[in-house]
Homo-oligomer: A and B are copies of this chain.
Amino acid sequence: MAAAHVSARDARISALLSTRSTPPGTLIAEGEWAHRCLLDAAGDIETFVWCPELLGDDGRALARAAAGRARASFTVSVKTFARVSRRNRPSGLASLVRLPDWRAGDGVIGGRPVGPGTVVLVADGIEYASNLGALVRVVDASGAAALIVTSRRARVESPEVFTASRGTVLTTPVIDLGSPAQAATWLERHGFAVHLALPGAEGHFRDRPRGDRPTAIVVGSEGNGVAPEWREVPHEAVSIPMRGRADSLNVAVAAGVLLFG
């Protein structure tokens, strides 16, 4: 079946136009690398648009595969693709992708049961999409159950999150629990030990208690660290010793050290 050819004015591709923010829970993936990720991760493609004139043989093969998996797919002109693309050099492939609707429910997080071995990373007040993406990648790689975000400032749906996460945002549970108090309520109800990463605290991260309870490791924002609301939650303080001039590590580096340490 040949894909329908549409113009930038067609309402069916309006959510992809670069002048718009994507609807909540959806993001734009653009280019060959992103589409390889999407196909590998069985991403949920709502709308796929491609511009045959901009693609070589590899790109066209990818386009056929993506079109076969998308709910709707359209070909567009070079001019229309330019209105979709967020890049200086439009690639010819763009998808509107729906992220899974991950939840923290009763005894369950991100589709997995909460048990004594469950580890979640909590990131508070994250400002930069590139850091949010790197945090998602760390959670994926470490085998933690989910990334919980509180007082979030960066959008999970940002294309930079997709890139910095190397596409793992498609398959890693990222759950916005709102405020620290709301997140703490859920964690407390499920018996989590809460470990706050506080630079300069006494507890060395390697000695943090690893007992018979699920564990939440809380890292703070780039500028301000863990918010005061988190410090009111019953917790253990853990720290990474800083041996140089800097008073903290990049938040994704700190999360990596804590999750793998």
In this assembly, does A181 line the interface, its C-beta being within 8 Å of a C-beta of chain B? no
A255→B205 CA distance, assembly (Å): 17
User: Using a Cβ–Cβ cut-off of 8 Å, how many residues does chain A contribute to the interface with B?
Assistant: 36
Q: Which of A104-112, A165-173, A185-193, A230-238 contacts B (4 or more CB under 8 A)?
A: A165-173
In this assembly, does A3 line the interface, its C-beta being within 8 Å of a C-beta of chain B? no
In this assembly, does A9 line the interface, its C-beta being within 8 Å of a C-beta of chain B? no
Contacts of A94 in B (CB 8 A): none
- Shortest 9 CB-CB contacts between residues of A and residues of B: A143-B243, A140-B244, A253-B256, A257-B260, A256-B257, A134-B250, A141-B242, A168-B246, A166-B246
In this assembly, does A54 line the interface, its C-beta being within 8 Å of a C-beta of chain B? no
A240→B138 CA distance, assembly (Å): 11
In this assembly, does A34 line the interface, its C-beta being within 8 Å of a C-beta of chain B? no
Measured CB to CB, the closest approach of chain B to A41, in angstroms, equals 7
Interface on A for B, CB 8 Å cutoff? 40-41, 130, 134, 137-143, 164-168, 171-172, 205, 240, 242-246, 248-250, 252-257, 260-261
Measured CB to CB, the closest approach of chain B to A241, in angstroms, equals 8
Contacts of A256 in B (CB 8 A): 249-250, 253-254, 256-257
Contacts of A243 in B (CB 8 A): 140-143
CB-based nearest B residue for A165: B246
Q: Known: A130-B130, A250-B252, A257-B260. Contact between A244 and B172, CB under 8 A?
A: yes
